[in-house]
Amino acid sequence: MKCSKVCTTRGILKFVEITVNLLVLICVGASQASVAGFTSSLGGLGSFNLNWAYSPFEGTELQEVRELDMQFTQMRAPCVYGGVAFSLTAATLTLVFLVVGAKPIQQLRTGLLVGECAFSLLASLVYLVAVGLYLHFVTQVNSTEVCKRRERLYARRGYTSMNCAVQGGDAAVGLFGVVASCLYFASFVVCILAIRTVRAFQRHAAKAQHSLKGNVGDRSVRNHHAVHRTSESSHNVQALATLV
């Protein structure tokens, strides 16, 4: 029963971790889309047009807005590339451990579980660092003169959402990142329990096998003694018959 609970908990945690990684990926893209502006590249992920049918900007002001949009999205591009690459890598490795580790308790190897524990602990720590770096980088970009000029231009036309505060998408990236870190740490703890369970199972199996070999050996010795006694009895009977 304990083995079954540990294996089930490991599988559930891995599935939830993959889901949270995908949510981080979605939030990274959504955050970049929400601040991209009128016609600017989403860090190499395509283009976004806030209002293709009508533009409140004209002439030199429109050109300035486009240049600022392009500069701003290019400055945020490392967040997009880093967030997408990191979340996809974490989700892929978690999926690998989920598939490879989906075995009965008697087929699991401690080497695989040790690797899984190391990955879970590393992912937990790196996710915290990645969230801190992501928010720090976003804050630095938002404090630049490019962001402030862009904010003023959009505010003149009533677009107050294009401000230099931390956006909801960025906050969601940080939130789901912290959740992922907690999940990976919980997975590390469960993995340690799984190692202990597998080792206990292996010791029990080895003990049972040793006991079985001992019983077989005892029966063999007893059979040998019985055959020896039967042989001696036959010899004695034969000797008596000869004397008679």
pLDDT, mean of each 10-residue run, the chain (244 residues): 67 94 94 73 45 61 84 89 94 93 76 92 96 94 92 83 86 95 95 86 71 58 51 44 37
Assigned domain for 41 exists: yes
Looking at residue 244, what is its pLDDT?
A: 36
- Torsion angle of alpha carbons 95, 96, 99, 100, nearest 10°? -150
Assigned domain for 216 exists: no
Q: Residues of 206-225 as b/e, b for ≥16 C-beta within 10 angstroms?
A: eeeeeeeeeeeeeeeeeeee
Q: Give residue 158's domain range.
A: 2-207
Assigned domain for 28 exists: yes
Looking at residue 128, what is its pLDDT?
A: 95
Assigned domain for 105 exists: yes
Looking at residue 73, what is its pLDDT?
A: 87
Assigned domain for 56 exists: yes
Assigned domain for 226 exists: no
Q: What angle separates helix 168-243 from helix 110-142, to the nearest 10 degrees?
A: 170
The pTM of this model reads 0.76
Looking at residue 177, what is its pLDDT?
A: 96
How many domains, in total, are found in the chain? Answer: 1
Assigned domain for 186 exists: yes
Assigned domain for 144 exists: yes
